Amino acid sequence: MSGAHALHNGLTQVPGSAATMHGDKVAYGVLVQLVAEGKEAEARQLLAYYDSVGLPHSWKQMNIEFTDENLWTVAEYTTQPDSTFLSAVPNATPQMLVDAMRVVEEFPAEAA
């Protein structure tokens, strides 16, 4: 969960993210952390649960603008040397996080 909370902190750096609840940002962070760890299949398995309880799995669902600038803002903040994301994924780089968030954004809008 350290990675997920660190991603929450990164998301707070994006304009307009304050309207999204803490738990929603952390839930999204869980998916990104799993993908960054190479566990995309495990992240996808969570989608039906997320849908059933109303947790977001996209920036659109959190009403946050999904732009390159915002992605890099989150990724760079989340992978700072003192970030707890590095406790979860020690070799994480901003590019790795951008790639992981792009993968998560491609997940289906609703699980089958």
Tokens 């920036």 found at: 59
Each residue's pLDDT tens digit in the chain (112 positions)? 589 999 999 999 999 999 999 999 999 999 999 999 999 999 999 999 999 999 999 999 999 999 999 999 999 999 999 999 999 999 999 999 999 999 999 998 776 5
In which element (H, E) is residue 105 found?
helix 94-105
The C-alpha angle with vertex 56 and arms to 55 and 58, in degrees rounded to 5, equals: 165
Entry pTM: 0.94
Report CA torsion sign: 28, 58, 102, 38. positive
CB neighbours of 25 closer than 8 A, spacing ≥ 6? 7, 8, 11, 12, 17, 62
